[in-house]
């Protein structure tokens, strides 16, 4: 009986630990737009966010990441890391990040974050009253500007 309780308690603690360190969120955007993933970070502890695995680079492009210090003068206070991406074309992919100390190779991450990214098409809608906006996409490398109004 005592062994069964101990095993149950250990399993519960593992599940609680997993729930605290695993996180998933959804991001919806349109092709051509940029989006950010912002995560709490404290490099004074040695930890930083890293890409965990890979994501579909034909759908999403990593533009870069930066650390923003906190707006406090407290020594050792944490700030945030901002990861910037560009949605290239419609589709779905998962971006996974892990919070690690880079020199600790065989240690599991302190935290993991997973973001399901869904990119939709950019739709051109009429301007109303029978008028249409026409976009010359080939001249402007896929951008929907400038527009001409025809009624």
The backbone region for 76, taken as left when phi is positive above 0, alpha when psi lies in -120 to 50, beta otherwise, is: left
- The confidence score (pLDDT) of residue 125 equals 52
Query: At 76, which helix (H) or strand (E)?
Result: none
The angle subtended at Cα 147 by Cα 146 and Cα 149, nearest 5°, is 155
47-97: pLDDT as tens digits: 999 999 899 999 999 999 999 998 888 888 889 999 999 999 999 999 999
**Between residues 102 and 8, which one has the greater pLDDT?**
102
Domain borders along the chain are 22-144
pLDDT at 148: 47
CATH number attached to the domain at 22-144:
2.60.40.2020
């Amino acid at each position: 009986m005592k062994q069964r309780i101990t095993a149950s308690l250990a399993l519960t603690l593992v599940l609680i630990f997993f729930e605290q360190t695993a996180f998933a969120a959804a991001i919806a955007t349109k092709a051509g737009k940029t989006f950010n993933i912002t995560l709490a970070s404290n490099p004074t502890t040695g930890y930083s966010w890293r890409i965990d695995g890979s994501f579909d680079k034909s759908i999403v492009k990593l533009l870069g990441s930066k650390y923003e210090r906190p707006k406090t003068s407290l020594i050792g206070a944490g700030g945030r890391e901002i990861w910037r991406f560009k949605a290239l074309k419609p589709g779905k992919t998962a971006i996974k990040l892990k919070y690690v100390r880079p020199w600790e190779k065989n240690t599991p991450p302190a935290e993991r974050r997973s973001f399901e990214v869904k990119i939709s098409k950019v739709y051109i809608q009429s301007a109303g009253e029978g008028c249409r906006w026409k976009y010359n996409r080939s001249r402007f490398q896929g951008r929907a500007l400038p527009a001409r109004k025809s009624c």
